[in-house]
Structure 1
Amino acid sequence: MASLSTPLISLPRHPNSSSPSFSTDLRLSSHPALSLIDQCTSIKQLKQVHAQMLRTGALFDPYSASKLITASALSSFSSLDYARQVFDQIPQPNVYTWNTLIRAYASSSDPAESILIFLEMLDHCSECPDKYTYPFAIKAASELRALQVGRGFHGMAIKASLGSDIYILNSLVHFYGSCGDLDLARRVFVKTPKKDVVSWNSMITVFAQGNCPQEALELFKEMEAENVKPNDVTMVSVLSACAKKVDLEFGRWVCSHIQRNEIKENLTLNNAMLDMYVKCGSVEDAKRLFDRMPEKDIVSWTTMLDGYAQLGNYEEAWRVFAAMPSQDIAAWNVLISSYEQSGKPKEALAVFNELQKSKSPKPDEVTLVSTLAACAQLGAIDLGGWIHVYIKKQVMKLNCHLTTSLIDMYAKCGDLDKALEVFNSVERRDVFVWSAMIAGLAMHGQGRDALEFFSKMLEAKVKPNAVTFTNVLCACSHTGLVDEGRTFFYQMEPVYGILPGIKHYACMVDILGRSGNLDEAVELIEKMPIPPTASVWGALLGACKLHGNVVLAEKACSHLLELDPRNHGAYVLLSNIYAETGKWDEVSGLRKHMRDAGIKKEPGCSSIEVNGSVHEFLVGDNSHPLCKEIYSKLDEMALRLKSNGYVPNKSHLLQFVEEEDMKDHALILHSEKLAIAFGLISLSPSQPIQVVKNLRVCGDCHSVAKIISKLYDREILLRDRYRFHHFRDGHCSCNDYW
């Protein structure tokens, strides 16, 4: 049976012994029940010994009782429920017994019970809590992040003249760090009179886990200067700090330091080194370490898998995945999330489907959040809705992470009502839930409603963050709320304490530029306290296209290309501005420059979900199995459009095309139109046609979608890179302001 090899809590005295040591009482040490407890390997055996102790009266001996409690609460086969039942049978538990139960619950899934038992101890134990009681009670407070409770324990320890005890002080450092109060943790550490290695480890860990990696590394250097010998626990935290700081050079030095000082390498330490190498981008170093590791667990394999996946080396990532002794949900999550975050949502959903087929392991919160994000990218509302139903069936708690993901998915898939339904179904809404709902309303052109939600958020005493203001400003931009946008932008720092960042400046330039206030937009850029980035100049360039300002467009494009010489979007926007003003020589010159520099325009891609399957179309695509039917529908659309007075907007052609009929043909082959045609032949009249475009929808496609919605009496939802367009009966929700 596993037992305490080095007890951290005080051992009880036998009431009949005059000596503080129980080992001198031969009658007790030779009690048959004690040796039987040591031989137990299961709860069933322990219960048999318990029954014998009840018959012989040994349970009423404090030492024997504490021995039974220790086995039932802390052994490898422990049962806290059973331990509590045993505890309740003991007439007068001693301090050791109370400490054992407090310790067990502090490390359990219910640390609050540890604190309740501590309070019971104050009422019912004839002895006061000792220097071993407080570390366990403080640990329970740490697990609960209960700052006021832990501070109460701190005060009680000081009143009990235990304020300078090293074990209590080390526990307090960890506790304050867990609660996020790094200043108090540091103050306790500094006031610790004789710091041991655990003291240093506790403070270094607090800094490493509290997103202060530089402070953690500096403290480690200070520890070295004080000639305190680090151990494996020290190095795990130092490696974690290196990983967070992405300091490969110092991380390599730490690894060599471990070998030079003969710090014993174990699995945990090797995994920490592996994690550092991967997070610092050196999969080669990680692979060398991985190959020589004498022992590997699922964490080791998953870390290597993550390393290759984050680099986009999926061939090697799949090789590692296939070689894993077992694939737990963390391994599946690595693949799904890396595909989703690298802009490969179809691949992410394919991995999720494979996970479903395998039937083991079960998806967890991380799986669902990543998969919902992939659904949001693709507009795959069928699968997203299925995941929502799955969450309900599995009775999974709809926490803020899942709530935010569901709102984002429904909003980006075009079902704003469903997003609002999710929002209204939850009681707890953090800043990210509110921000997601504001973003959803903004992208659907409901700017006034978005600002109303922002007001409700403030009424609910939820403090907005930088993301919230990005979404609020986007809402103003999409709806032409210029005065409101100005107000919010200039209130950010003085009213809400949030310094405007580059995204906020880009939004504000967009608000001003889109509304025709180009001079004010330029003035804002010139007065920015931070250097304008490509996104800021891009916003100005986009505004120049809307208002046909060629001179300012050339200036904005020049600045943009200085910062990002291979930005194909800048060339496309300027080319379109030239095309709209008939400057075809300039268009040809830009196209030639792009060819010579090897810069390719991002191909327009539109996707549509039909019966749970996502279909993608490129411009002029003829690879779809229903290609003939799609192009037949396109021809029909073109005839009906022409008979209803539609005239193609040829300014949306990127290159000069001499023949007029070829211009018309080039426009009709845009990916949005192909997706809409496929929707018309594949979806019932009652179903909306939902199309997702990777780029900004062109003006001609926007005009066509409006007319098609009336001609075919269909609802069309078109999501481009920036927002949603709801087409119905010849009108768009954006009111042609996008």
Structure 2
Amino acid sequence: MATLSTPPVSLPRHPNTTTTTVNNDLLSLIDQCTNTKQLQQVHARMLRTGLFFDPYSSSKLITASALSSFSSLDYARRVFDQIPQPNLYTWNTLIRGYASSSEPSQSIVVFLEMLYRGCELPNKFTYPFVIKAASELKDLLIGTGFHGMVIKSSLGSDVFILNSLIHFYGSCGDLDLAYRVFLNIPKKDLVSWNSMITAFVQGNYPNKVFEMFREMELENVKPNDITMLGVLSACAKKVDIEFGRWVCSYIERNEIRVNLTLNNAMLDMYVKCGSIEDAKRLFDNMQEKDVVSWTTMLDGYAQLEKYDEAHRVFEAMPCQDIAAWNVLISSYEQNGKPKEALATFRKLQTSKTAKPDEVTLVSTLSSCAQLGAIDLGRWIHVYIKKQGIKMNCHLTTSLIDMYAKCGELEEALEVFNSVERKDVFNWSAMIAGLAMHGRGRAALDLFSRMLEAKVKPNAVTFTNILCACSHTGLVDEGRNLFHQMEPIYGVVPGLKHYTCMVDILGRSGHLKEAMQFIEEMPIAPNASVWGALLASCRLHGNVELAEKACSQLLELDPKNHGAYVLLSNIYAKSGKWDQVSGLRKFMRDSGLKKEPGCSLIEVNGIIHEFLVGDNSHPLSKEIYSKLDEVATRLKSVGYAPNESHLLQLVEEEGMKEHALNLHSEKLAIAYGLIGMGPSQPIRVVKNLRVCGDCHSFAKLISRLYEREILLRDRYRFHHFKEGHCSCMDFW
């Protein structure tokens, strides 16, 4: 038998060897090739001996070049183009190779070329490959065309083709057509059932999966591991732990082959159903584990916020790939722990065990946005450029959001304008950025540009544009947009949109209209709707309506401390001190406490956090000394603390004399004056709405100290410069 060496191919050369033996030996070398270079050597010898022009021999070479583990479709195509009259098997091989490649459209191109040449007609082996290509492309029109060709070719009852069509229609999301194909299969095999189950899983119809599984039982079709993968996925989507446990016992009882993939599916089901104990038992008993197994367990602990256990799993992982880092970072970010997310990202940078990918950067940018960490946000933007990372919609949207929430609206606009093909998420994020900065007119102009660009707005877009109208007092514009949502744009208003409308009307003093609007809502108002009305009552001092709104709000959310605080402030503003005392006593007796004010400021890339009355900062003495200096300067120009705002600090009895100076945003601003250069803007992020006294305080500081202050509260941005605020005192 001939052997293959990597450089020159050794071929029999003795004169006594017959042509047939040489050819057979030459063909056997194709099976021994382990790389393209070796295959090319065999190809060259086949051309010299003329063996290449034998249809069987050339098809064997094409198969190796297109379908082997070292396949090169570019090379396979060049080989194919040398064949004078390729047979149907050869065409099918090339079509199949492209269908499974990163360029499935080429599979269809080759198919059309075969039809154009007219030398071969597609058969029952051709169609599954081109239908697979259409599935990869999710092109309903092309795939439906193939379906028609199948019927015309009298192949409409071929089970292999029909199974491919189920997969195709499922991939395109047309489950009705997929099911119709399934029902019309004369003799369904296991692949038919599995294909339909997979289609229902992909379409997020777990109940249909369960129905199919029961039908299989009734039809005496024995499921295999692929079937059970689909059923377990449906359990995970349905979050049905009891049925999930039954499925796992069913697998064991029926001795279904359990491989690593099926074990991982069981693990994933347990985690998504919230049963970390079941997941741990299975994980500990698994003889074979891969990175998916470890990452699933890590994700399970992280989603339950059991971070000690999550870190133990992380440290024990044989390989800490980027997916594992992403689980920790995104879990912290999604569970309201942005500081921990950034700390984990910095560990990733120093560990050098993995390289940040798109998911890492999106989660980290979101954490930067939450904290106002502009320095790290800018660094990530530079990193993306230096690493040549493709700017897809997720990254661009995250960058726009980060810059806008960190107070850099112009940089957000720069990123937005740099995107050639903007999707609805890019537009919506930029509209949101303009809205939170009080640029209502600019947001409306951008919305108009979005419509001109033929981008259809979605529910999020309307939430953002209505917020822009609310922050800027654009009542008529807000009304018009709200009433156009469903009839013109096909977006059914949800509770967020109704809340925005109540806010638009209420803020502008149209309280009676706001109340009527709530009464006429086609859906039941939630706590947010009543909260918006209550906040408007505080602004305009309407006690009677405030009591009604507060009563409705507390009926829906009895532990909403914010409602009591708002009503207390409204009573105080109206001089109803007995009611103020009653509310304060009720809150104390009920154990309800106002959410403490918390402000963040980034100085030299480090986030500093201040709570109300905080003295834990290492420079606490200097900060309070600076505040005393600021207070003296402010009093010299006529500033007097507005003690009515003390009422917002319901739980802070006995601190009235100094309480206003203890507000967290004042501590953060004072630290900014100490730790930042005169040309640097002071950026503060606060968890609550900024109070009127702190607002006045920041305006005066911006003038007396000639500093730009960017204060982001729970609802919007305030840009303080030269004694003025961008909100024009409408917030």
Local SS of the residue matching 1:727 = strand
Q: CA deviation at 1:659?
A: 13
Counterpart selection for 2:49 from 28, 50, 56: 56
Does the Cα contact within 8 Å between 1:400 and 1:432 map onto a contact in 2? yes
Decide which moves more: 513-522 or 594-603.
Answer: 594-603
The whole-number CA distance in structure 1 between the counterparts of 2:594 and 2:340 is 23
Aligned to 1:96: 89
Distance 1:95 1:383, change over 3 A: same
Q: 2:397 aligns with which of 404, 427, 430?
A: 404
1:457 to 450, 454, 457: 450
Write the mapping of 1:174-253 to structure 2, written as runs, cut at 5 A: 174-253=167-246
Quote the Cα distance in structure 2 between the aligned partners of 1:517 and 1:453.
27
Residue 650 in structure 1 maps to residue 643 in structure 2: yes
Greater displacement, 199-208 / 433-442: 199-208
CA distance in 1, matches of 2:307, 2:89: 55
C-alpha separation in 2, matches of 1:294 and 1:658: 56
| Matched residue, 2:604 | 611
Distance 2:28 2:495 in 1: 70
Q: Which moved more, 1:277-286 or 1:574-583?
A: 574-583
C-alpha contact (below 8 Å) 2:584/2:650 kept by paired residues: no
Residues 276-675 of structure 1: pairs in structure 2 closer than 5 A: 276-654=269-647, 663-675=656-668
Query: Structure 1 residues 218-227 or 619-628, which shifts more?
Result: 218-227
Contact 1:579 1:651 (C-alpha < 8 Å) held by counterparts: yes
Q: 1:36 to 1:486 in 2, by over 3 A?
A: same
Name 2:16's counterpart in structure 1: none
Q: Distance in 1 between matches of 2:653 and 2:609?
A: 28
Q: Contact conserved, 1:141 with 1:175, CA < 8 A, in 2?
A: yes
- What residue in structure 2 maps to residue 16 of structure 1? none
User: CA–CA distance in 2 between the matches of 1:252 and 1:661?
Assistant: 57
Match of 1:12 in 2: none
Amino acid at match of 1:53: M
| Partners of 2:23 and 2:51 within 8 A in 1 | no
Partners of 1:583 and 1:319 lie apart in 2 by 56
Aligned-residue offset at 1:639: 0.7
Q: Distance in 1 between matches of 2:670 and 2:376?
A: 23
Alignment match of 2:39 (pick from 30, 33, 46): 46
TM score, norm. by length of structure 2: 0.93
Instruction: Quote the offset at 1:336 in angstroms.
Output: 0.6
The 3-state SS of whatever aligns with 1:565 is coil
TM superposition shift of 1:582: 4.1
Opposite residue 611 of structure 2, the aligned amino acid is L
Which sits farther off after the overlay, 587-596 or 339-348?
A: 587-596
Deviates more, 1:369-378 or 1:572-581: 572-581
Between 1:677-686 and 1:365-374, the stretch displaced more is: 677-686
Residue aligned with 1:617, SS: strand
From 89, 104, 109, the counterpart of 1:111:
104
**2:525 alignment partner, SS class:** coil
Three-state SS of the structure 2 residue aligned to 1:608 is: strand
Q: How does 1:120-139 map to 2 (within 5 A)?
A: 120-124=113-117, 126-139=119-132
Q: Which amino acid aligns with 1:246?
A: V
Structure 1 stretch displaced more, 27-36 or 704-713: 27-36
Partners in 1 of 2:135 and 2:177 — Cα distance?
14
Q: Which secondary structure state, in structure 1, belongs to the residue aligned with residue 647 of structure 2?
A: coil
- Cα distance, 1:45 vs structure 2: 3.7
3-state SS, counterpart of residue 684 of structure 1? coil
1:28 CA displacement: 9.2
Q: How many equivalent residue pairs? A: 713
- Flag the 1:185–1:659 CA change in 2: closer, same or farther, 3 A: closer
**What CA distance in whole angstroms lies between the structure 1 residues aligned with 2:621 and 2:649?**
28
- 1:609 partner SS: strand
With over 3 angstroms needed to count, the CA separation of the structure-2 counterparts of 1:467 and 1:104, relative to structure 1, is: same
Alignment of 1:730 with 2:723, yes or no, is yes
Work out the CA distance in 1 between the residues paired with 2:413 and 2:355: 28
Shift of 1:80: 2.6
> Quick one: distance in 2 between partners of 1:74 and 1:369?
37
The Cα offsets for residues 377-416 of structure 1, whole Å up to 9 and x where unpaired, read as 0111111111111111122221111111111111111111
> How much has 1:662 moved relative to structure 2?
5.2
Gaps of 5+ in 2: 1-18
Cα distance in 1 for residues equivalent to 2:350 and 2:315: 16
What do the CA deviations read for 1:2-43 (whole angstroms, capped 9, x no partner)? xxxxxxxxxxxxxxxxxxxxxxxx969981233333333333
Determine the structure 1 residue equivalent to 2:76.
83
What CA distance in whole angstroms lies between the structure 2 residues aligned with 1:542 and 1:680?
32
C-alpha distance in 2 between matches for 1:591 and 1:660: 10
Q: Which residue of 2 aligns with 1:9?
A: none
Q: 1:445 to 1:353 in 2, by over 3 A?
A: same
- Which residue identity does 1:618 align to in structure 2? L
CA deviations 1:305-362 (Å, max 9, x no partner) are 1111111111111111111110111111111111001111111011111111122321
2:594 and 2:650 in contact (8 A); partners too: no
State the TM-score, normalized to the length of structure 1. Answer: 0.93
Structure 1 gaps, min length 5: 1-25
- Could you tell me how far 1:220 is from its partner in structure 2? 2.6
Instruction: Report the Cα distance in structure 1 between the residues aligned to 2:67 and 2:103, rounded to whole angstroms.
Output: 15
| Contact 1:336/1:370 (8 A) holds in 2 | yes
Contact 1:339 1:347 in 2 (8 A): yes
Structure 1 residues 655, 83: closer, same or farther in 2, change over 3 A? closer
Contact 1:580 1:652 in 2 (8 A): no
Tell me the alpha carbon deviations over residues 76-111 of structure 1, each in whole angstroms, 9 at most, x when there is no partner. 233333333333333322221221222122111222
Moved more, 650-659 or 638-647: 650-659
Contact persistence 2:66–2:72 (CA under 8 A): yes
Equivalent AA in structure 1 for residue 307 of structure 2: Y
Indicate conservation of the 8 Å contact 2:598/2:611, yes or no: yes
User: Which residue of 1 is the match for residue 687 of structure 2?
Assistant: 694
Partners of 1:276 and 1:488 in 2: CA distance: 43
SS at match of 2:64: helix
Hey, what's the Cα distance between the residues in 1 that align with 2:473 and 2:578?
Answer: 34
Q: Report the equivalent of 2:674.
A: 681
Distance in 2 (alpha carbons) for counterparts of 1:464 and 1:182: 26
Post-superposition offset of 1:452: 1.5
Q: Which moves more between the two structures, 71-80 or 726-735?
A: 71-80
Q: Which secondary structure state, in structure 2, belongs to the residue aligned with residue 653 of structure 1?
A: helix
**Cα distance, 1:641 vs structure 2:** 1.1
C-alpha root-mean-square deviation of aligned residues, in Å? 2.2
| Distance in 1 between residues matched to 2:365 and 2:624, nearest whole Å | 33
- Displacement, 1:153? 2.0
Aligned match of 1:21? none
Tell me if the contact between 1:657 and 1:663 (Cα under 8 Å) persists in the aligned partners: no
Offset at residue 675 of structure 1 (A): 0.9
Structure 1's 274 and 50: CA in aligned 2 closer, same or farther, altered over 3 A? same
Aligned match of 2:247 = 254
Letter in 2 for 1:467: V
Q: What is the Cα deviation at residue 677 of structure 1?
A: 1.0
Matched, 1:263 2:256: yes
Aligned residues with identical type, % of pairs: 79
Q: Once the 2 structures are TM-superposed, how far is the Cα of residue 660 of structure 1 from its aligned partner?
A: 13
Distance in 2 of aligned mates of 1:63 and 1:592:
93
